[in-house]
């Protein structure tokens, strides 16, 4: 029995350990696909796109003859060649515009040439005649009957069954919450707060712009190499748009140089494929310039948000009424689900008995809104958490105490009527307040400065279809090492490291025995819906664990048969099969490929071990389209809190972030250091959108499409002290109880900073970014400075 008592104590389990990140040269199989153009040889062609100069116009004619006659041009394509529609939740656009353009940058034609310079010259030679139309440049105007209709065929578009377009309007999705009796609750409120916020569009600004290379062979089969978070979704959507089988589309996705949601779904990749269909056999490369990246790739949607909320004399929230007008841009294939997510999360992380929410996804003639880190939650929480803070002050309660009274606890009734699963949100609030030394006021660094502290809470669910699935395989090699196949993508968040940790723990081998097969390749990799929604640790992780356990079962069953033992008495520890009964032990080396001979010499048992696993949530229910009520709207919520300390310069309005604290309930931290890195990185990115970032759109034209005029936070802007605190209340359906954390750390930052500014100078800055000028003017208006 000695071995049974000690071996289990010594099982090497990398879960919960901060193991090193996988190194591209040593820990993954495969290499980067297009480090340079030499990969594709002298046949590589270069593509450029003719784009609309107008936010809204009809296309009267396109003359490509001059471009076609330019030496070095191999193909010119227009929307005439591609009538199919494309889109994820709502198929509302063509690959190239056919009848009208709907934003500045809308693709009208494409060119393939032997050099990028010739392709650029050919684009200039394409002549397009437009009839300029009145644009829609504000979402509140967009929902009015006076607004021009941007998508007259909205009622004919293919759409997911949980999205509710309003044909004959510019509303591509209308999500409602009707919980309790909001109108009757207002008279019971001791204090009511009501405000309007305008949240600007922002850009993801990945260090690597969008790039794709497409090749179509003589049989019509497509191969697409792309910087992508969604290779399987791209395969599906592009195939459907071209009217071909998904089996005839192969997407290969090497390492991604930054994504943040911008490289999810399909944006420019279909353009490269479409052009490649006209030059069969030759690869076509399309790379967005930095300027194009700013306004022709996905941007974070703008939002006009109206909040009204009230509480009783004890500070208990009684009612909330919200209206969200999402400036979703010209096409809303992703925006419709952001609108839905904001609706079913519209109470914020609070229990409110009476809630009325109207969330509108509105077509405008602005750049296309898409997924960005947080998926609508930073925008929504920005105003909501400032109102919560103001409500606390008006009722005479400390903002932390107010949140502790009202925040969600295990078993709370959610805005959709379902019950909250076990959550550590109260612990998160307590821990950030303690770490920021809430209630303690430090003296400013100079007489002309004031210090303040602010706090904000958050919640976010994976915003995805109810049946988004994951799959994985685990293959063992002759020496006992393990190769893991996944379809999820590593975009810097460490997905491959987590995959290796889970496979090692699930199988019973050392972490450094595991390799992850890369690049992700839809022809060979197992299916994964998309690398979005902070879902890989949870969803892909479940698939990996199931695959590892499948392989483990095969190995143990094989050894049990040869040893004539009960499989229940066997285990795999540190790469060896051991028996707790007989104390026998055998290495995985060789047996996982060649099997084992039967003791009587009559043959062999086993063979090459390949484990397979998948996962799909089966328990998410629909919501009533009129009330938004249902049994289980989402798989789960990640919750958390942030607190900041700021210093405001009374002479300039400049806001300096002195320190930040974040605490999130991640269920189980598979790799604690990587979890903390996500908290820190999200905080800095949230800081950037709070203080600096805004796409300046004037009459539909972007005024600041470069880093000269679009500022993002640098290391100089980050506070010297960011404390990340891990809270672990296990998730019932997560591997080892884990849930995601990638996006959540950016959600509450803007509001926390806004609340800290108020604590410092007594002025609420309202809508971001909180530039020096905006803060100074707010102080002037309040009479704080002259």
User: Which listed residue (129, 293, 743, 773) is catalytic?
Assistant: 743
Cβ contact 328:361 at 8 Å: yes
51 contact partners, CB below 8 Å, separation of at least 6 = 104, 105, 106, 107, 108, 296
Measured CA to CA, the distance from residue 547 to residue 558 in angstroms comes to 17
- Best CA proximity match to 759, nearest among 306, 386, 309, 378: 386
In the block, which residue shows the tokens 């001979």? 597
- Best CA proximity match to 532, nearest among 495, 485, 571, 579: 495
In the block, which residue shows the tokens 């938004």? 628
Cβ contact 298:135 at 8 Å: no
Backbone angles phi, psi at 345, to 5 degrees: -115, 15
Cβ contact 549:611 at 8 Å: yes
Cβ contact 387:352 at 8 Å: no
Measured CA to CA, the distance from residue 64 to residue 746 in angstroms comes to 46
Measured CA to CA, the distance from residue 762 to residue 756 in angstroms comes to 9
- Supply 594's token pair: 């060649």
In the block, which residue shows the tokens 């589309």? 249
Within 526-657, residue ranges assigned H as helices are: 541-563, 591-594
- Best CA proximity match to 352, nearest among 482, 496, 188: 188
Measured CA to CA, the distance from residue 476 to residue 595 in angstroms comes to 12
- Supply 413's token pair: 């009734």
567 contact partners, CB below 8 Å, separation of at least 6 = 553, 556, 557, 560
Angle CA(488)–CA(494)–CA(500) in degrees, nearest 5?
A: 75
Element (H, E) at 638: strand 638-649
DSSP strands (E only) in 200-335: 211-216, 222-226, 249-253, 284-287, 299-300, 302-311, 317-329
Active site residue 269: no
Cβ contact 129:53 at 8 Å: no
Measured CA to CA, the distance from residue 112 to residue 449 in angstroms comes to 57
Measured CA to CA, the distance from residue 663 to residue 672 in angstroms comes to 13
DSSP strands (E only) in 470-593: 470-476, 482-486, 514-517, 520-521, 570-573, 576-579, 585-587
The torsion of the CA quartet 382, 193, 396, 434, rounded to 10 degrees, works out to -10
- In the chain, what's the furthest Cα-to-Cα distance? 97
Strand 482-486 to 701-702 pairing: unpaired
Strand 514-517 to 222-226 pairing: unpaired
Cβ neighbours of 403 (radius 10 Å): 26
In the block, which residue shows the tokens 């959550």? 423
User: What one-character-per-residue DSSP string does 175-213 give?
Assistant: EEEEES-HHHHGGG-SEEEEEEEEEPPB----SSPPEEE
354 contact partners, CB below 8 Å, separation of at least 6 = 179, 180, 181, 182, 184, 185, 318, 319, 320
156 contact partners, CB below 8 Å, separation of at least 6 = none
Give the C-alpha distances (Å, rounded to integers) separating 513 from 48, 91, 505, 588. Answer: 45, 44, 11, 11
Measured CA to CA, the distance from residue 191 to residue 315 in angstroms comes to 9
Measured CA to CA, the distance from residue 604 to residue 558 in angstroms comes to 10
Q: Which residues are catalytic?
A: 743
């Amino acid at each position: 029995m000695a071995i049974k008592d000690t071996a289990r104590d010594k099982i090497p389990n990398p879960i919960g350990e901060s193991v090193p990140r996988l190194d591209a040269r040593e820990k993954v199989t495969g290499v980067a696909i297009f480090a340079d153009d030499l990969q594709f040889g002298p046949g590589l062609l270069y593509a450029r796109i003719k784009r609309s100069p107008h936010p809204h116009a009809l296309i009267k004619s396109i003359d490509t003859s001059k471009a076609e006659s330019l030496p070095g041009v191999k193909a010119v394509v227009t929307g005439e060649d591609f009538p199919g529609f494309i889109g994820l939740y709502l198929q509302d656009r063509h690959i190239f515009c056919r009848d009208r353009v709907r934003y500045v940058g809308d693709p009208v034609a494409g060119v393939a040439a032997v050099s990028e310079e010739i392709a650029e010259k050919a684009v200039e030679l394409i002549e397009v005649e437009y009839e300029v139309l009145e644009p829609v440049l504000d979402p509140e105007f967009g929902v009015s009957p006076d607004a021009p209709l941007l998508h007259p065929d909205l009622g004919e578009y293919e759409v997911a069954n949980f999205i509710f377009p309003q044909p004959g309007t510019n509303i591509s999705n209308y999500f409602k919450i009707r919980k309790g009796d909001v109108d009757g609750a207002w008279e019971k409120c001791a204090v009511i707060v009501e405000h309007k916020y305008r949240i600007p569009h922002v850009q993801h600004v990945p260090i690597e712009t969008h790039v794709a290379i497409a090749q179509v062979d003589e049989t019509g089969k497509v191969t697409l190499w792309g910087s992508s978070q969604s290779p399987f979704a791209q395969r599906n959507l592009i195939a459907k748009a071209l009217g071909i089988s998904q089996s005839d589309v192969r997407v290969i996705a090497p390492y991604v140089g930054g994504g943040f949601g911008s490289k999810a779904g399909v944006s420019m990749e279909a353009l490269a494929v479409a052009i490649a269909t006209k030059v069969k056999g030759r690869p076509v490369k399309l790379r967005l310039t930095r300027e194009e990246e700013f306004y022709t790739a996905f941007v974070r949607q703008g939002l006009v948000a109206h909040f009204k909320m009230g509480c009783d004399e004890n500070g208990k929230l009684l009612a909330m009424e919200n209206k969200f007008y999402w400036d979703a841009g010209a096409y809303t294939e992703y925006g419709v689900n952001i609108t839905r997510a904001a609706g079913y999360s519209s109470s914020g992380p609070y229990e409110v008995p009476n809630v009325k929410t109207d969330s509108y996804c509105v077509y405008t003639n602005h750049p296309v809104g898409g997924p960005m880190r947080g998926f609508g939650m930073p925008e929504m929480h920005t105003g909501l958490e400032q109102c919560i803070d103001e409500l606390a002050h008006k009722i005479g309660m400390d903002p932390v105490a107010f949140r502790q009274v009202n925040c969600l606890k295990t078993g709370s009734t959610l805005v959709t009527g379902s019950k909250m699963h076990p959550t550590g949100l109260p612990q998160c609030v307590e821990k950030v307040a303690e770490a920021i030394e809430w209630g303690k006021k430090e003296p400013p660094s100079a007489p002309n400065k004031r210090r303040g502290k602010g706090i904000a809470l958050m919640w976010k669910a994976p915003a995805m279809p109810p049946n988004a699935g994951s799959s994985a395989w685990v293959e063992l090699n002759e020496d006992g090492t393990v190769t893991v196949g996944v379809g999820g993508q590593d975009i810097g968040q460490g997905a491959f490291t987590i995959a290796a940790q889970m496979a090692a723990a699930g199988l019973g081998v050392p972490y450094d025995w595991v390799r992850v097969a890369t690049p992700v390749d839809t022809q060979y990799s197992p299916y994964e819906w998309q690398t979005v929604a902070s879902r890989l640790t949870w969803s892909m992780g479940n698939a990996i664990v199931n695959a590892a356990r499948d392989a483990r079962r095969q190995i143990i069953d094989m050894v049990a048969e040869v040893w004539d033992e009960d499989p229940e008495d066997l285990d795999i520890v540190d790469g060896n099969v051991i028996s707790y009964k007989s104390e026998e032990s055998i290495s995985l080396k060789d047996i996982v490929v060649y099997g084992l001979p039967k003791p009587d010499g009559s043959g062999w048992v086993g063979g090459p071990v390949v484990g397979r696993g998948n996962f799909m949530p089966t328990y998410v229910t629909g919501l009533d389209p009129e009330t938004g009520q249902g049994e289980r709207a989402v798989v789960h919520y990640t919750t958390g809190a942030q607190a900041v300390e700021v210093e405001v310069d009374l002479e300039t309005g400049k806001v300096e972030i002195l320190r930040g604290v974040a605490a999130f309930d991640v269920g189980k931290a598979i790799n604690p250091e990587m979890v903390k890195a996500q908290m820190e990185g999200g905080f800095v990115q949230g800081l950037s959108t709070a203080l600096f970032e805004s796409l300046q759109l004037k009459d539909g034209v972007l005024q600041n499409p470069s880093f000269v005029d679009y500022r993002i936070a640098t290391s100089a802007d980050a506070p010297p002290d960011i404390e990340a605190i891990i809270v672990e209340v296990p998730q019932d359906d997560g591997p080892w109880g884990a849930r995601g954390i990638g996006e959540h750390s950016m959600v509450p930052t803007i509001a926390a900073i806004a609340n800290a500014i108020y604590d410092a100078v007594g002025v609420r800055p309202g809508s971001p970014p909180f530039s020096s000028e905006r803060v100074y003017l707010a102080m002037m208006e309040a009479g704080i400075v002259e």
